[in-house]
Amino acid sequence: MTALLQCSSILLVEYADSGMPEERHFSIKEETLDVSSVPAGGIVIQLNHISADPYLRGRVKSKGKHPLGTPLRGFVTGTVISSDHKAWKSGDLFGASMPFVTVQMLTASQVKETLMWKLTGIVDREQLSLGLGILGMPGSTAYGGLLDVLAAKKGETLWVSAAAGAVGSMVGQIAKNVVGMTVVGSCGGEQKGKLIREQFGFDHSVDYKTVSTAEELAAKVRDCVPEGIDCYFENVGGIHFEAAMSLLKRHGRIAVCGSISSYNSAKPEYCKINISNMIYSFQRVEGFVCHPWLTHQKGEFLKDMAKWLKEGKIKPQETFFEGVKSWPAAFASLFKGSNLGKVVVKVEA
């Protein structure tokens, strides 16, 4: 093993409380690390891909309290290049949540404390980016939110917002191709609408950019499914949530995992709910995160998703950026609507 490796870190150097996050808010630190010795019971790892995800927007606000001058932390894929750990061997592929530092030496205690899942035998190095999407945080979010939180059933009707994004595209595919639901997806522009219908199998698409109010958006969805919706998977918030509440049937459910419409605002956006309508309709709204499914506390996420991927029931869609220095641009693309599916930064350009 080479004793000296080049290492890059993505640092937060300036808070962005409102507006679009820009390159000036981040810095790339370059250094050389000596990795000639492995910590006792530890591992040495090298990152292959770094994720850009909407939830990180909260981390770069001053109230997020991420210390300036320190590496951001999020989801990555990588390779074990040296190991003294019984569960990991040299060459193992993994997904993880850890600092955006391309070469790291983890002690035994750090390995224990780090969320890592093994992808060896599930994908090869050419497919490793899927550990950020279908086989990572977005995939487990879609899986848990649809199957457990919404308890989706065959024959029901689902509406999912941000349907061409990393989570929404998988929610729709699982709903249509695994559960057997009628699926409506909302996204921005005809290109994305065509994608979710023709490639992902959605029954209907709605272009949210053609409306400006919750009432107009609800009317567009009702044109697709006149009787309303049984389930709504929330990624956007704002008028999307209010429209969904007006469309929700008796015993309807809403799973909330994102509200990207307000992420660049200094203050949160509040949505209106007529709670009286929920009482005798037995409706439910539940927020959640992916952790129980990603850590195997619930369900069989990796096993099931790998099977559906192999069967062609789920098709990956990725937008790649080349090199660590492209991460700020990759992150900004999430809020410009210019990406399709999962945004992935390749560590080596």
Residues (pLDDT < 70) of the chain are 1-2, 349
- SS3 sequence, 239-305? HHHHHHHHHEEEEEEEEECCCHHHCCCCCCCCCCCCHHHHHCCCCEEEECCCHHHHCCCCCCHHHHH
pLDDT for residue 331:
96
pLDDT tens column, 29-68:
999 999 888 999 999 999 999 999 999 999 999 988 899 9
For the record, the structure tokens of 348 come out as: 């080596």
pLDDT for residue 170:
97
pLDDT tens column, 206-217:
999 999 999 999
pLDDT for residue 338:
78
Question: For the residues of 149-203, what is the DSSP string, one character each?
Answer: IS---TT-EEEEESTTBHHHHHHHHHIIIII--EEEEEESSHHHHHHHHHTT--S
What the chain holds in terms of domains, given with CATH numbers, is 4-133+317-346 (3.90.180.10), 137-291 (3.40.50.720)
**Rounded to the nearest 5°, which phi and psi values hold at 199?**
-95, -40
pLDDT for residue 2:
54
Q: How far is residue 47's CA from residue 128's CA, in Å, rounded to a whole number?
A: 11
pLDDT for residue 151:
98
Whether the CB-CB separation of 183 and 202 falls below 8 Å is answered with: yes
For the record, the structure tokens of 222 come out as: 């009702």
pLDDT for residue 292:
95
pLDDT for residue 262:
83
pLDDT for residue 300:
96
Angle between helices 239-247 and 214-224 (to 10 degrees): 50
Burial 164-181 (b: 16+ CB within 10 A, else e): bbbbbbbbbbbbbbbbeb
321, containing H or E segment: strand 318-322
Question: For the residues of 31-50, what is the DSSP string, one character each?
Answer: EEEE-SSPPTT-EEEEEEEE
pLDDT for residue 349:
54
